[in-house]
């Protein structure tokens, strides 16, 4: 079980430390004069990275007032350096820039809200990745010699246009950097492929409405984990630990007061990250860390860690759901419908015994009911789906690790609900369905060999059934 144990941090004690030393630190070190580098009021997303591979850190930032990205190339220690940029005419009483940085500008056609600088294609040169109000993820690949490739663009319409909604890190344990972008109640991952190209964005649902993300190793297993932050929520931190097989585990919410700021760092040097938070309505700081407790051998689902498996959002009042071992691995899978986009998600356990592996397969749209049974008693269970939108029932099964598109089961009337099971303990399972016809409602009993029976239901039965067992 994972919990975040909070300890009140008294700011005065935290900031004031008694140092016993014979050295007069006041005369041992200090600060030089201020160096001024005039920019604009609209700058944001400041990053420090060695862009030109000269061993010096440069400064990269978004300048939305000038619709550009500005790079301040570090010239420290270099002599007889001539700027490659044409200096603009200074305004009256405007201070000229110092010589430490040579400022160059890259035009941008979007208002940039999130920007990171990382080597995204493993060529040893830092690239610029950003997102903004054009709702495109844009990558500028570094050609070297202060030159850039043409922008690469991925349209992502529901990405969040806020700061810190973008990160670059290995999120699937293949030693290659991936791109993670936060969206509206979801996030996108562009996985790096072995040819150093990026796959198309893959969408992952998340609970709540997080407005910021962070990627780092939170449990010291040398794997990057994902942190989602929702400032005014009762659970402002939502963790998803990366598993050994490169999947993200279920959501683990961490309760706290609503926060206005936070910082994560190893402040005591023990190799573990601490959370420092400022609650929204208090003038104090709190500090805590993630702790781990060994699960009891006798523990069950009631006493183990509560976690959340986020699903794709739907406006439907009902979605199909079942739990059954459909691939003969002796552990149950969760089969759940995504009614809006016409797919079935199969959620299985990863190497950490958490439901962390999610596979999506095409299906009917508007699937409102799912039931599973070994219909033909061959050891491989069949999955039955009912689509309220398409008004049909279908059947599929897991073959070679995949679910095929459901085959239609011919039936008269509009199907309302389905279930499966044995009517006779010694017999084979059957499929049961209730349909709405012009003559009234019928109960169908359908066997695997194609035979079927119907039984009229009482005409007083008019309500919409929600479940049948």
Four-point Cα dihedral 124, 126, 131, 134, nearest 10: -90
Q: How would you classify the pairing of strands 274-279 and 259-265?
A: antiparallel
What is the H or E stretch that residue 253 is in?
Answer: strand 252-254
Question: How many whole angstroms separate alpha carbon 218 and alpha carbon 2?
Answer: 11
- Report yes or no: 349 and 375 within 8 Å, Cβ to Cβ: no
pLDDT confidence of residue 243: 87
pLDDT band at 98 (very low <50, low <70, confident <90, very high): low
pLDDT confidence of residue 183: 95
Written as one string, the DSSP assignment of 280-305 is TT-S-EEEEEEEE-PPPTT--TTTS-
What is the H or E stretch that residue 179 is in?
Answer: strand 178-183
The residue assigned the tokens 């279908």 is 394
Q: Which residues contact 92 (CB under 8 A, 6 or more apart)?
A: none
pLDDT band at 42 (very low <50, low <70, confident <90, very high): confident
What is the architecture, at CATH level 2, of domain 2-18+39-85+94-292? 7 Propeller (2.130)
pLDDT confidence of residue 121: 93
Tens of pLDDT, residues 106-123: 999 999 999 999 999 999
- Report yes or no: 103 and 34 within 8 Å, Cβ to Cβ: no
The highest-confidence range among 100-109, 128-137, 433-442, 449-458, by mean pLDDT, is 128-137
- Report helix, strand or coil for 66: helix
- Report helix, strand or coil for 164: coil
| Range 230-241 average pLDDT | 90
Tell me the longest C-alpha to C-alpha distance in the chain. Answer: 99
What number of residues does the chain have?
Answer: 469
- Report yes or no: 298 and 323 within 8 Å, Cβ to Cβ: no
The residue assigned the tokens 């794709």 is 312
| Average pLDDT of the chain to the nearest whole number | 85
Residue 173 pLDDT > 90: yes
Residue 295 pLDDT > 70: no
| Higher per-residue pLDDT: 307 or 433 | 433
Question: How many whole angstroms separate alpha carbon 114 and alpha carbon 217?
Answer: 21
- Report helix, strand or coil for 13: helix
**Which of 129-143, 278-292, 447-461 has the lowest average pLDDT?**
278-292
pLDDT band at 412 (very low <50, low <70, confident <90, very high): very high
Residue 145 pLDDT > 70: yes
pLDDT confidence of residue 447: 93
Q: Which residues contact 293 (CB under 8 A, 6 or more apart)?
A: 1, 2, 3
Residue 1 pLDDT > 50: no
Residue 463 pLDDT > 80: yes
Token pair, residue 38, equals 């005039």
Residue 404 pLDDT > 70: yes
Phi and psi, residue 330, nearest 5°: 70, 15
Phi and psi, residue 426, nearest 5°: -95, -5
| Range 372-395 average pLDDT | 95
Residue 16 pLDDT > 50: no
pLDDT confidence of residue 8: 32
Question: How many whole angstroms separate alpha carbon 235 and alpha carbon 411?
Answer: 47
Residue 349 pLDDT > 90: no
pLDDT confidence of residue 78: 79
| Higher per-residue pLDDT: 38 or 9 | 38
Question: How many whole angstroms separate alpha carbon 303 and alpha carbon 295?
Answer: 9
What is the H or E stretch that residue 27 is in?
Answer: helix 25-28
E strands, 134-233, in order: 136-140, 142-144, 147-148, 152-155, 166-169, 178-183, 186-190, 202-205, 212-216, 225-229
| Higher per-residue pLDDT: 369 or 40 | 369
| Higher per-residue pLDDT: 4 or 362 | 362
Q: Please, what sign has the CA dihedral across residues 246, 249, 252, 258?
A: positive
Phi and psi, residue 64, nearest 5°: -75, -20
Tens of pLDDT, residues 60-97: 999 999 999 999 999 888 776 555 544 556 666 655 56
pLDDT confidence of residue 138: 98
pLDDT band at 3 (very low <50, low <70, confident <90, very high): very low
Q: Which residues contact 257 (CB under 8 A, 6 or more apart)?
A: 279, 280, 281, 282
The residue assigned the tokens 């190893």 is 266
Q: Which residues contact 36 (CB under 8 A, 6 or more apart)?
A: 95, 97, 98
Four-point Cα dihedral 175, 353, 379, 410, nearest 10: -80
- Report helix, strand or coil for 429: coil
**Which of 19-23, 54-58, 85-89 has the lowest average pLDDT?**
19-23
- Report helix, strand or coil for 26: helix
Question: How many whole angstroms separate alpha carbon 451 and alpha carbon 310?
Answer: 40
Residue 4 pLDDT > 60: no
Strand partners of residue 274: 265, 289
Angle, CA of 303, 305 and 306, to the nearest 5°: 100
| Higher per-residue pLDDT: 254 or 9 | 254
- Report yes or no: 165 and 187 within 8 Å, Cβ to Cβ: no
pTM: 0.74
Question: How many whole angstroms separate alpha carbon 342 and alpha carbon 385?
Answer: 11
pLDDT band at 401 (very low <50, low <70, confident <90, very high): confident
Rg of the chain on CA atoms, in Å: 29
Strand partners of residue 111: none
| Range 412-423 average pLDDT | 94
């Amino acid at each position: 079980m994972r919990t975040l144990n909070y300890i009140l941090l008294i700011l005065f004690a935290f900031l004031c430390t008694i140092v016993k030393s014979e050295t007069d630190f006041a005369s041992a070190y200090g600060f030089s004069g201020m160096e001024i580098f005039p920019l604009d009021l609209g700058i944001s997303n400041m990053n420090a990275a060695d862009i030109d591979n000269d061993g010096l850190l440069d400064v990269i930032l978004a300048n939305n007032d000038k619709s550009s990205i500005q790079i301040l190339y570090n010239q420290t220690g270099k002599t007889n350096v001539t700027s490659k940029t044409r200096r603009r005419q200074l305004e009256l009483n405007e201070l000229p820039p110092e010589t430490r940085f040579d400022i160059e500008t890259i035009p941008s056609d979007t208002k940039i809200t999130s920007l990171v600088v990382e080597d995204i294609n493993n060529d040893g040169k830092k690239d610029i990745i950003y997102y903004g109000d054009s709702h495109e993820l844009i990558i500028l690949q570094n050609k070297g010699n202060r030159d850039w490739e043409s922008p690469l663009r991925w349209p992502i319409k529901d990405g969040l246009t806020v700061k810190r909604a973008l990160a670059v890190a290995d999120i699937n344990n293949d030693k290659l950097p991936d791109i993670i972008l936060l969206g509206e109640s979801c996030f996108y991952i562009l996985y790096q492929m072995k040819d150093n190209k990026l796959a198309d964005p893959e969408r992952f649902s998340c609970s709540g409405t997080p407005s910021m993300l962070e990627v780092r190793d939170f449990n010291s297993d040398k794997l990057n984990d994902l942190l989602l932050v929702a400032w005014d929520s009762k659970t402002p931190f939502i963790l998803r630990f990366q598993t050994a097989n490169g999947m993200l585990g279920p959501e683990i919410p961490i309760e706290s007061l609503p926060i206005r700021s936070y910082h994560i760092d190893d402040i005591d040097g023990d190799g573990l990250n601490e959370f420092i938070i400022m609650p929204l309505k208090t003038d104090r700081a709190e500090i805590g860390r993630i702790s781990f407790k060994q699960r009891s051998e006798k523990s069950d689902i009631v006493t183990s860690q509560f976690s959340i498996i986020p699903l794709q959002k739907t406006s439907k009042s009902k979605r199909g759901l079942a739990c059954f071992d459909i691939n003969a691995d002796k552990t149950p899978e969760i089969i759940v419908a995504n009614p809006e986009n016409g797919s079935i998600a199969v959620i299985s356990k990863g190497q950490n015994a958490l439901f962390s592996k999610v596979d999506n397969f095409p299906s009917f749209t508007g699937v409102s009911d799912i039931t599973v049974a070994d219909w033909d008693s061959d050891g491989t269970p069949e999955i039955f789906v009912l689509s309220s939108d398409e008004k049909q029932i279908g059947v599929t099964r897991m073959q070679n690790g995949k679910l095929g598109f459901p085959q239609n089961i011919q039936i008269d009337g509009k199907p309302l609900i389905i279930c499966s099971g044995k009517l006779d303990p010694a017999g084979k399972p059957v499929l049961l369905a209730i349909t709405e016809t012009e003559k009234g409602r019928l109960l169908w009993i359908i066997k695997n060999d194609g035979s079927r029976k119907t039984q009229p239901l009482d005409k007083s039965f008019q309500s919409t059934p929600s479940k049948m067992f």
